[in-house]
């Protein structure tokens, strides 16, 4: 049955950035569909307390933290089958005003941190000899420019190239690497700017004339996390209401 193809029941999943925003939503969606989910985060906030999720503290800038998080998942559930890299930060600042420290922080978390977690996942998936699925959460801003987000867009563009390179290198281990690129969604990261009227401007540039709702990403997430995408790797799935196709 088609529904069985998209099943994640019993899969062992780790989601970074799982305490809030899209990361919290992804962790909840996987858990509600029968996956055994570990949510890794460096934040004190948590939007997943109502779901059966193993909560882990993990600063993805720290290799010791990352290894300890995987150790904890393996003790509780076993080897990770699915990794969703949703941890990330953004800073709205024009390129000429963006200081070295702010730029370095964005790259350290969005690119270096993701690479650190992904490298650890690859080693463990390879050792377990079960293959696996790695999903990088990127953004339409990897390919579509918006003033004030050059560093963020650059970091997400790096993740998309990382997706393709890792997919080519790790396919022989049965590890698939794909990316999910959301468009504009209300989250803690974006809400303050939507409150200032950015949402009204964006809706004029989105062909479907609305912002995304978290549930709009569920199908793409389940596709990439399940056997439905067993012959997909190196792919970027865009879910943006047509924003990247517009002017």
Residues labelled as active-site residues: 152
DSSP secondary structure of 196-225: TTHHHHHHHHSTT-S---GGGGHHHHHHHH
3-state secondary structure of 152: helix
Phi, psi of 39 (to 5 degrees): -105, 115
**DSSP code string of 50-110:** TS-EEEEE--TT-HHHHHHHHHHHHHHT-S-SEEEE---------GGG--HHHHHHHHIII
Whole-angstrom CA distances from 76 to 83, 136, 235 are 16, 24, 31
Strand partners, 53: 37
């Amino acid at each position: 049955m088609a529904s069985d193809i998209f099943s994640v029941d019993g899969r062992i999943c780790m989601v970074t950035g799982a305490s809030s925003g899209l990361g919290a939503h992804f962790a909840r969606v996987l858990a509600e569909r029968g996956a055994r989910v570990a949510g890794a985060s460096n934040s004190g906030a948590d939007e997943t307390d109502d779901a059966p999720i193993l909560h882990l503290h993990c600063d993805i800038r720290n290799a010791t933290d990352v290894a300890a998080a995987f150790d904890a998942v393996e003790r509780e559930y076993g080897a990770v089958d699915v990794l969703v890299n949703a941890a990330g930060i953004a800073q709205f600042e024009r390129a000429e005003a963006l200081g070295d420290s702010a730029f370095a922080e964005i790259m350290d978390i969005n690119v270096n941190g993701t690479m650190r977690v992904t490298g650890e996942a690859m080693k463990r998936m390879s050792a377990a000899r079960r293959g696996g699925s790695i999903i990088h959460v990127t953004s339409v801003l990897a390919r579509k420019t918006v003033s004030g987000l050059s560093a963020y867009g650059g970091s997400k563009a790096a993740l998309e190239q990382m997706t393709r390179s890792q997919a080519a290198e790790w396919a022989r281990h049965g590890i698939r690497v794909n990316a999910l690129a959301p468009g504009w969604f209300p989250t803690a990261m974006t809400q303050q700017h939507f409150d200032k009227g950015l949402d009204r401007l964006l809706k004029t540039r989105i062909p479907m004339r609305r912002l995304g709702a978290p549930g709009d990403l569920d199908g793409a997430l389940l596709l990439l996390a399940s056997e439905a995408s067993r012959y997909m790797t190196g792919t970027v799935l865009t879910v943006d209401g047509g924003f990247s196709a517009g002017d």
